[in-house]
Structure 1
Amino acid sequence: MTVFSSKPTLTGDLVVLRPVTEDDVPALLPFFEDAEVARLTGSHRIFTEAELRDWYGSRGGTDDRLDLAVVERATGRVVGEAVLNEWDPGNESCAFRIAFVPDAVGRGLGTEATRLIVGHAFEALGLYRVWLEVYAFNPRARRAYEKAGFTAEGVLRGALLWEGQRVDATVMSVLAPEWAPRP
């Protein structure tokens, strides 16, 4: 059994994070179909609904990552996903990523979802480091990550080729000793 074998439900004031399923695909499709979301996440691939159903349908059986649907409490609507992946057990670390459907941004849902899943990584799973990459053309996300406690570590120069332009990615992390739940 690994740290990601258990698929928890995490509850905040604004959102509930729960295991993602293939039934969530219709709600998540807008972020896979949105050109701006693709740009901000650096996603070059276009997925079919069938591929997404297969992927999300398999998440409950994985033990090397944690994929959670972000559900807005006020509406009960699935508005995004929060993921811990690239688990490195020898170094007690993992990567984090989060994505939202376009109409769910700017309301504090991502900040709370980030705090819930990163808190889970440290407090329940005993991890030491959670890291992420954010592209230079996504300053709003970088501010949100800083607000959640992440610190810039360095820059991966020219990490993304987007529409003929090279874009830097900033590596950010938060360490367990630095973590304190924020209001």
Structure 2
Amino acid sequence: MELVPLRLEFAAAMLAGGPQDDEVARFTGSHQTFELADVEAYIERTLNDPNRYTRAITEDGKFLGEVVLTIDPPNRSAGLRIVLWDGFGKGYGTIALQHVLDHAFTERGLHRVDLEVYDFNERAIHVYKKLGFREEGRLRDALLWDGVFHDAIVMSILSTDNI
């Protein structure tokens, strides 16, 4: 597995495996559909934003997902997002998250990284806790999916946490 900068060449794979995939859409809470031009525009914005650190998760050149830090420099904090289209159960998500946390705390000197995860995503919650994230609270009934409301769990990790 490799983490590489997100590139336009990954756009078609992102579109094919992104929110159009039912499981990915549910885990990300995305009700939208996208066109190739939307994905390409997103990649262009990402490449040109100094406060965004985005890495494609790949294996043998195949795009498997992405991990993103959206950085808030004045507050030394960042929001974190990860999505895997493929490669579940191989530890790729954990490796990608460890890399991004190291980048956040060591390279960027951030103090806080936070995320939201839906209450039904037990696999992700397990990984986040294993990495040292702590639950801060819940956004009750934040997602309506197939007629059922779900909480968004807010989690964070600080540079001063013993991880």
Indicate the residue corresponding to 2:124 in structure 1: 141
1:138 and 1:83 map into 2 onto residues whose CA distance is 18
**Which ranges in structure 1 are unaligned for 5 or more consecutive residues?**
1-14
Which structure has more RCO (C-alpha within 8 Å, separation ≥ 6)?
1
Given that 2:26 and 2:145 are in contact with CA atoms closer than 8 Å, whether structure 1 keeps it comes out as yes
Whether 2:24 is the aligned partner of 1:37: answer yes
| 2:82 maps to 1:95 | no
**Percent identity between the two aligned chains:** 42
Unaligned runs of 5+ in 2: none
Alpha-carbon displacement from aligned partner over 1:106-156 (angstroms, at most 9, x marks no partner): 110001000001111001100000000010111111001111221111111
Q: CA offsets per residue over residues 35-80 of structure 1, 9 Å max, x none?
A: 11100110111111121122213321112212211122xx232211
Divergent runs of 4+, >3 A: none
CA–CA distance in 1 between the matches of 2:72 and 2:12?
Answer: 32
2:50 alignment partner, one of 63, 81, 86: 63
Asked if 1:115 is matched to 2:98, the reply is: yes
For residues 30 and 91 of structure 1, the distance between their equivalents in structure 2, rounded to whole angstroms, comes to: 34
Q: Could you say what secondary structure the match of 1:44 adopts?
A: coil
CA RMSD of aligned residues (A): 1.4
Relative distance call for 1:24 and 1:179 in structure 2 (3 A) is farther
TM-score calculated relative to the size of structure 1: 0.83
